[in-house]
Structure 1
Amino acid sequence: MPRSTRKPLFIGMSAIALLFSGRAVAQTDTEIALTQIGHLLDDALFFSDKYVTPATDAAVYQSSSGWVNSPKAKGLFEVTFGLHANVFFTPQRDRTFKIQNSDFSFFQLEEGTEATVPTSLGSDQQVYLVGTLGDSPVRLETPEGIDMQTVAYPYLQGSIGLWYDTELIAKYSTRVKLKKSNYQVYGVGLKHTFSRYFKGLKENNIHLSVMAGYSNEEVSFNFLDVKTDYGTLGIDEITGHVDTWQFQMNGSKEFGRWEAMGGFIVNTSDIKYNVSGPKGTIEDLLPFQKILNKRLEEIYKTKVNYIGEASLRYTIGNFNVQTILAFGKFVNTNISLQYTFNNKQQTQEL
């Protein structure tokens, strides 16, 4: 990845003086320390982007599939409630990245000049990075990945039929604890069945719909545990925040109790990052976490995804069992058990 343009880091000379309080340092030493802190932040920014971006890309796929249970119109105020299990397959190509000494301005590899390290989706393999802050050595292990080939988590989804063959959809999961990470998603959408305008389609049990929705995903990972003689830096956890706007079209055909569905999804996601968790002890001298979060704005990004979707649904009375496969850059599966509360009021032809 090309290195981002390095912006000068402004830290008040008074803060640096505090950082080195109790030590006899010359003006030159203070200037060197200022430069070193700027370089350390540059390295943290570089590593953050490489490490967490695959997870935020994956989060988009995890939240994108399973919105539409069926393009078929619901009855007015008919409610469906479902328990979904989402299973994401972590691709091999996004589990590691290479680093070399030339990538860093503060740290260097303790052994060798280059290494392969895990992304947030990768293994628990680690290497040591070393540097010097002032006259004090700094040594840390690179962060581990989740070390899981598949990532599974549950969430709840409900929908209610409205007027004009429109449907309100909502999904929510509590903060799910995964291996070395946490994940949470919530969202809301509107679906409209436009096959209502084509009488022949309905007579042949063919249904077409469009859906627009918004979802928010948060995924967090254990990050860099950096200890120095001046205190811990407080960047033990990094969180990706993903705001996704989604549009999709779906079509289906009913065969008795079975319904086969296909769809196409396009979405755009605004991705932001911040280091979180307890602040480091260095905060008594320098607001390091705040400074790094400001620098992380340099790697904010917007991404557009095009995703295909295939599904098979089986109805048993008021229950439905459904499997969905979403595919594109990643592969994501969704399995759900749904229950429909039949409404006595029939869908009103409007």
Structure 2
Amino acid sequence: MKRIFTGIIIATFLLANVEFTKAQSFEEVVESGVADANTYLGHYMNPVASSIGNGLANGWYNTAKPHKTLGFDLTFNINMATIPDAAKTFEFVEAEYDNISLANPANSSLPTFIGGSTDQNLVISGNREVAGGQSIAYDETIGAPDGILDDLDYPGPLAIPTPTVQLGVGIVKNTDLIIRFTPQISVGDFAFQSFGFGVKHDFKQWIPGMKLLPFDLSGLVAFNRLNTTYQINEAEGQVAEFGASATTVQAIISKKLLFFTPYAGLGFNIVRSNFAMKGDYQFDGGSEPYTVTDPIDLSFDGSGEPRFTIGARVKILWVLALNVDYTIQRYNTLSVGLGLNIR
């Protein structure tokens, strides 16, 4: 069972490009009860889920100037939302749990998925319903799950690469319609797909006198969603699902200088993500095996915040452009893109 839980986390966060090799105590955490398991794993997995969600919020633009009607760009971006050091640990608050406590309450700081190792132990106790409707008491001590950083040779701040491919098309009244779409891609038991859309509109045209000023000023509203699934055991309906979405609202200003266009943006994003394990899972439970249905259902909200972006686009050929920008927010994000532009 431990191998299954380790495999789920690897598959779910495949974009992290890390190897999670330690044998973890996820089976025992789930044995504490579904509610406690969801609370603990919610804290443990939050940094990675938030990084992926914040990555989706980036890369929507590299200039404030919309295309002319039927002008377009096709752009590939890599967005890397840096996980802050504070997210490497979380505080264990005993009041949040029914059946889990700390063996050493003086040390309540525990590693998240991207944290290091810990010598802290968890005490799991309570009553468990087993076959035949009977209830048995249990009391055991397990090692708290470690993070990955002790096993990860990483040269800088940890970030989850989030790739996006998008098509922007000029429609009417200095407006761009932007579409992101990746059809379902399946590799073995793992499947991935994403979609998104946005609208960028030049609102300087509606303000008397502003159209004469030597810069471009636009507003952007955009939404992006990705979904991944991992088939644990298709015959028994066991599947893990991860989804993330980001809504971005931004005011953008830019100034074209020959082949160089600096740009900046100010706004906010709303990031949400979810992780679930569905199906029936059998646990040993010592001498009495038992089954848990849909043991994990996590939601991660509130990682989006106000944001400020600064960057530049450089034409490297007549129709090719390279853009780099950096967004300052709680999960600071670096975006690098390459696009084909036909104005």
The equivalent residue for 2:263 is: 261
Spell out, residue by residue over 1:212-253, the C-alpha distance to the aligned partner (whole angstroms, 9 max, x if none): 1111245899xxxxxxxxxxxx9996x653333332110111
* TM-score using structure 1 length: 0.66
Q: 1: CA distance between counterparts of 2:217 and 2:35?
A: 50
The equivalent residue for 2:38 is: 45
1:141: how far off?
Answer: 4.9
Which residue type is aligned with residue 306 of structure 1? P
Which residue type is aligned with residue 261 of structure 2? E
Which residue type is aligned with residue 312 of structure 2? L
Change (3 A) 1:152 1:38: closer
Which residue type is aligned with residue 290 of structure 1? D
1:107: how far off?
Answer: 3.3
Taking only the aligned residue pairs, the percentage that are identical comes to: 17
Long gaps (5+) in structure 2: 1-29, 129-135, 231-236
Q: 2: CA distance between counterparts of 1:270 and 1:310?
A: 24
Q: 1: CA distance between counterparts of 2:338 and 2:266?
A: 23
Q: Equivalent residues in 2 for 1:188-203 (5 A)?
A: 188-197=197-206
Change (3 A) 1:282 1:220: same
Mark the structure with the bigger radius of gyration.
1
Q: 2: CA distance between counterparts of 1:87 and 1:216?
A: 16
Q: 1: CA distance between counterparts of 2:206 and 2:55?
A: 32
Which residue type is aligned with residue 51 of structure 2? A
* TM-score using structure 2 length: 0.67
Q: 1: CA distance between counterparts of 2:162 and 2:214?
A: 33
The equivalent residue for 2:86 is: 93
The equivalent residue for 1:76 is: 69
Q: Does 1:245 align with 2:247?
A: yes
Question: Which secondary structure does the structure 2 equivalent of 1:163 belong to?
Answer: coil
Long gaps (5+) in structure 1: 1-36, 222-233, 343-350
Is 2:50–2:300's contact at 8 Å kept on the other side of the alignment?
A: no
Spell out, residue by residue over 1:168-198, the C-alpha distance to the aligned partner (whole angstroms, 9 max, x if none): 1123468999xxx998753111111223446
Question: Which secondary structure does the structure 2 equivalent of 1:329 belong to?
Answer: coil
Question: Which secondary structure does the structure 2 equivalent of 1:93 belong to?
Answer: helix
Q: 2: CA distance between counterparts of 1:173 and 1:207?
A: 30
Q: 1: CA distance between counterparts of 2:98 and 2:238?
A: 18
Q: Does 1:158 align with 2:158?
A: no
Which residue type is aligned with residue 67 of structure 1? W
82-91 vs 57-66, greater mean Cα deviation: 57-66
Q: 2: CA distance between counterparts of 1:118 and 1:249?
A: 37
Is 1:193–1:209's contact at 8 Å kept on the other side of the alignment?
A: yes
Is 2:54–2:304's contact at 8 Å kept on the other side of the alignment?
A: no
Which residue type is aligned with residue 322 of structure 1? N
Is 1:65–1:324's contact at 8 Å kept on the other side of the alignment?
A: no
Q: 1: CA distance between counterparts of 2:75 and 2:46?
A: 30
The equivalent residue for 1:120 is: 113
1:145: how far off?
Answer: 3.9
1:44: how far off?
Answer: 1.1
Is 2:253–2:263's contact at 8 Å kept on the other side of the alignment?
A: yes
Q: 2: CA distance between counterparts of 1:39 and 1:160?
A: 52
Q: 2: CA distance between counterparts of 1:143 and 1:219?
A: 24
1:326: how far off?
Answer: 0.8
Q: 1: CA distance between counterparts of 2:291 and 2:302?
A: 28
Q: Does 1:336 align with 2:337?
A: yes
Q: Equivalent residues in 2 for 1:10-29 (5 A)?
A: none
The equivalent residue for 2:322 is: 321
Change (3 A) 1:303 1:130: closer
Change (3 A) 1:114 1:184: farther
Which residue type is aligned with residue 56 of structure 1? A
1:113: how far off?
Answer: 5.8
